[in-house]
Amino acid sequence: MNTSKTGNMTYSPYEKLFLQQPHNQITRYLQSNIKYVDRNQDLHELMNVAAYIRHLDNEYSEEIKSRINEKAKIKNVVYKPGDKFMYKKNLEGKFNNLYQGPFTVLKDLDTKVTFKAKNGKILTASKAKIKRFYGDV
**Rounded Cα gap, residues 32 and 27, in angstroms:** 8
38 vs 136 pLDDT, higher one: 136
**Rounded Cα gap, residues 73 and 26, in angstroms:** 34
AA letter at 49: V
The answer, as to whether pTM is greater than 0.85, is: no
In the prediction, which pLDDT does 97 show?
75
- 79 occurs within a structural domain: no
Q: Domain span at residue 104?
A: 84-132
- 52 occurs within a structural domain: yes
- 6 occurs within a structural domain: no
Residue % of the chain over a pLDDT of 90: 1
Are 18 and 67 part of one and the same domain?
A: yes
**Mean per-residue pLDDT, 32-44:** 61
- CA distances 38 to 12, 21, 45, 48, 98, Å, are 24, 20, 9, 12, 60
Are 49 and 92 part of one and the same domain?
A: no
CATH assignment at residue 111? 2.30.30.140
Number of structural domains found in the chain: 2
- 8 occurs within a structural domain: no
In the prediction, which pLDDT does 114 show?
92
Are 90 and 128 part of one and the same domain?
A: yes
Are 17 and 52 part of one and the same domain?
A: yes
